């Protein structure tokens, strides 16, 4: 393993020498809008580029997740997965043209998660350039319908229908380099929608203000007692409603997330919130509905799992301080299926979820080198225990 780690600097230099290939993939793929449920065009280009670039097999699974396979030497070893999500939070109307400066790329979706998709498309070329030949097949998958209402459907389907065992997985995130996620909290995201003029008969009463009704819901949620252990968190993340300053808001929507390392606690808190919603709705004579947007089960690797330990060593070797923490992205689905998996970031950037996201080019070379290092570690057996 130490030998492999000692190669990382050379990997970094070799990857820097094909900077144009990596950036071109990031730009050409990332400039194609891919809002959730409308990823087909981006998926098509990704497959096209992988098929042109030393990938032995390119296909889509039954759910239209684009997949490329770089065949390994051994027919007995299970495959290793490298995964990114394909969808971005921006609609097709948003300008997706990127600009490149001497050390940055700027544009919509780069951090969420277009840069990582471009790197995924470049990996076959990089693997070939580095002269690597793995025992396992390397499955490069960019899963659709991941974020928001997609609720990680693409990766769930991929794992549900994959017929062989999986040796291990690395989920690539555009940022931040140094992140080392090997646990996922239990999580439920929901919208609470209030409609105050939905044909309800009110004798002499004025129409309740939907925003104020949601305010009451928030107040009651804040009154819930959360235990210190297991740790839990309720985050009120979004609120929208109303039409104009002088008019009582007739509709409003509140978005919140419940998180904990205990699935039981997440379920319990969600039940409490649904009770609150039902009560406030009846008291104010409004339609108040809760809708689940996405949910993830709690799962984790131990902090001393060989994959986690090796990944941390690789980061340290590259002078990157590991930032450990949970992630509720694709890695959570691997972990809840008992597949050893980690999520790693590729570079640094600013403007997550914003159209003018800006990523740095220079850290990317270390970011990709760490992925190759971890891939080698999994191929050498760190997930096989």
Residues that bind another protein (CB under 8 A): 18-21, 23-25, 27-28, 31, 52-53, 97-102
3-class secondary structure, 282: helix
CA atoms of 189 and 237, how far apart (whole Å): 10
Q: What angle do CA 121, 10, 366 make, to 5 degrees?
A: 55
Cα separation values, 245 from 101, 209, 239, Å: 42, 12, 16
Kindly state the smallest distance separating residue 36's Cβ from another protein, in Å: 23
Which residue's CB is nearer to another protein, number 125 or number 334? 125
Kindly state the smallest distance separating residue 368's Cβ from another protein, in Å: 15
Which residue's CB is nearer to another protein, number 128 or number 297? 128
Q: What is the CA radius of gyration of the chain?
A: 23
Kindly state the smallest distance separating residue 166's Cβ from another protein, in Å: 31
Which residue's CB is nearer to another protein, number 109 or number 306? 109
Which residue's CB is nearer to another protein, number 99 or number 240? 99
- Tokens read off for 177: 């380099």
Kindly state the smallest distance separating residue 131's Cβ from another protein, in Å: 17
3-class secondary structure, 206: coil
Which residue's CB is nearer to another protein, number 98 or number 270? 98
CA atoms of 340 and 308, how far apart (whole Å): 9
Which residue's CB is nearer to another protein, number 131 or number 199? 131
Kindly state the smallest distance separating residue 44's Cβ from another protein, in Å: 14
- Tokens read off for 223: 């009154």
CA atoms of 158 and 333, how far apart (whole Å): 10
- Tokens read off for 72: 């390994």
The alpha-helical segments, DSSP class H, found in the chain are: 2-6, 8-17, 19-30, 40-51, 115-129, 153-161, 210-222, 263-284, 306-317, 330-336, 362-379
Which residue's CB is nearer to another protein, number 19 or number 198? 19
3-state helix, strand, coil in the chain (%, to 5): 35, 25, 35
Kindly state the smallest distance separating residue 21's Cβ from another protein, in Å: 5
CA atoms of 158 and 62, how far apart (whole Å): 8
The DSSP secondary structure of 39-75, one letter per residue, reads -HHHHHHHHHHHHTTT-SEEEE-TT--EEEEE--S-S
Strand order in 358-360's β-sheet?
A: 99-100, 104-106, 358-360, 349-350
Which residue's CB is nearer to another protein, number 129 or number 285? 129
Kindly state the smallest distance separating residue 70's Cβ from another protein, in Å: 17
Kindly state the smallest distance separating residue 83's Cβ from another protein, in Å: 24
Q: Are 318 and 366 in contact (CB under 8 A)?
A: yes
CA atoms of 67 and 63, how far apart (whole Å): 11
Kindly state the smallest distance separating residue 238's Cβ from another protein, in Å: 31
Which residue's CB is nearer to another protein, number 24 or number 212? 24
């Amino acid at each position: 393993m130490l030998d492999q780690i000692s190669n990382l600097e050379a990997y970094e230099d070799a990857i820097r020498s094909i900077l144009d290939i990596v950036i071109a993939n990031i730009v050409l793929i990332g400039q194609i809008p891919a809002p959730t449920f409308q990823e087909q065009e981006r998926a098509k280009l990704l497959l096209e580029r992988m098929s042109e670039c030393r990938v032995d097999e390119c296909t889509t699974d039954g759910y239209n997740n684009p997949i490329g396979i770089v065949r390994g030497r051994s027919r007995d070893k299970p495959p290793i997965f490298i995964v990114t999500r394909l969808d971005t939070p921006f609609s097709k109307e948003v300008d997706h043209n990127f600009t490149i400066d001497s050390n940055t790329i700027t544009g919509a979706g780069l951090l969420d998660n277009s840069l990582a998709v471009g790197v995924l498309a470049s990996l076959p070329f990089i693997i070939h350039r580095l002269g690597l030949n793995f025992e396992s097949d390397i499955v490069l998958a960019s899963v659709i319908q991941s974020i928001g209402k997609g609720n990680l459907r693409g990766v769930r389907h991929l794992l549900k229908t994959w017929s062989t065992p999986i040796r291990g997985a690395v989920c690539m995130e555009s940022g931040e380099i140094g992140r080392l996620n090997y646990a996922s909290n239990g999580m439920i995201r929901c919208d609470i929608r209030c409609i105050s003029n939905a044909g309800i008969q009110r004798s002499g009463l004025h129409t309740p203000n939907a925003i104020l009704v949601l305010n009451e819901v928030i107040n009651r949620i804040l009154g819930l007692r959360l235990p210190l252990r297991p740790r839990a968190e309720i985050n009120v993340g979004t609120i929208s409603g109303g039409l104009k300053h002088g008019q009582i808001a007739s509709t409003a929507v509140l978005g919140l997330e419940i998180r904990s390392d205990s699935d039981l606690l997440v379920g319990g808190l969600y039940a409490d919130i649904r009770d609150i919603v039902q009560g406030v709705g009846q008291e104010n004579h409004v339609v108040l509905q809760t809708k689940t947007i996405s949910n993830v089960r709690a799962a984790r690797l131990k902090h001393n799992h060989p994959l986690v330990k090796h990944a941390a060593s690789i980061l340290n070797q590259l002078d990157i301080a590991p930032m450990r923490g949970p992630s509720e992205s694709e890695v959570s689905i691997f972990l809840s299926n008992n597949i050893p998996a980690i999520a790693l970031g590729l570079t640094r950037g600013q403007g997550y979820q914003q159209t003018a996201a800006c990523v740095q080019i220079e850290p990317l070379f270390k970011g990709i080198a760490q992925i190759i290092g971890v891939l080698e570690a999994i191929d050498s057996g760190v997930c096989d225990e």
